[in-house]
Amino acid sequence: MSALHQGSPLQAQLQQQTAQLLAPINQGVDVLPILWEPSTCPEAFLPWLAWSQGVEEWDEQWPVELKRQVVANSLDQHRHLGTRYAITKALQPFNLGAEISEWFEHSPMRDAGTFHVDVYVSNQGIDLPLIQETRRRIDSVKRKSVDYTMQMHLQGNLGVATTGVFCGSSMTTIFPIS
């Protein structure tokens, strides 16, 4: 065999790693349905599945189960883009609850074409990366013609085993950095 057909060591290494990555596909056509299902798709192919399903927000640092849930929710989200449901579903994989109220539901009425989102955070603290991620998630599914305000609330469960307990709370409002 000529030197032209032998390739370089880098090509050989790339071919070997590609063969390992694509081994499930090479086992037969029966594997193809596995690749299109978020719950069974190999982790290495999840970014490609997300891309094919139109997922706009993706972070390689997310846990695998969160990635699978985001891909699984994408079709339903695309069906309902611009609705309250889409906003709620966009925040759900991140364990964030949301209550949404539109301008005409307030007394007195707010500016037309606006809405307000109360985001409820549990099992974690509120920090700048969480605020930015939440805004990105809302911006990706809301109607582009509307503006909104957002408040984030810490939410916790308090199990009380005694009677006569006093609980106090304080409210903290976090405003975006100008």
Q: In the chain, what is the straight-line distance between the N-terminal and C-terminal CA atoms, in Å?
A: 66
- Type and span of the H or E element at 102: strand 96-102
Residue 177 has pLDDT above 90, yes or no: no
User: Which token pair is 72?
Assistant: 């699984």
Which long-range contacts (C-beta less than 8 Å, at least 24 apart) are formed by 59-62?
A: none
- Which token pair is 2? 């000529």
pLDDT per position as a tens digit, 20-60: 888 776 666 567 788 899 999 999 999 999 999 988 888 89
Overall average pLDDT of the 74-103 stretch = 90
* CB 101, CB 88: distance < 8 Å: no
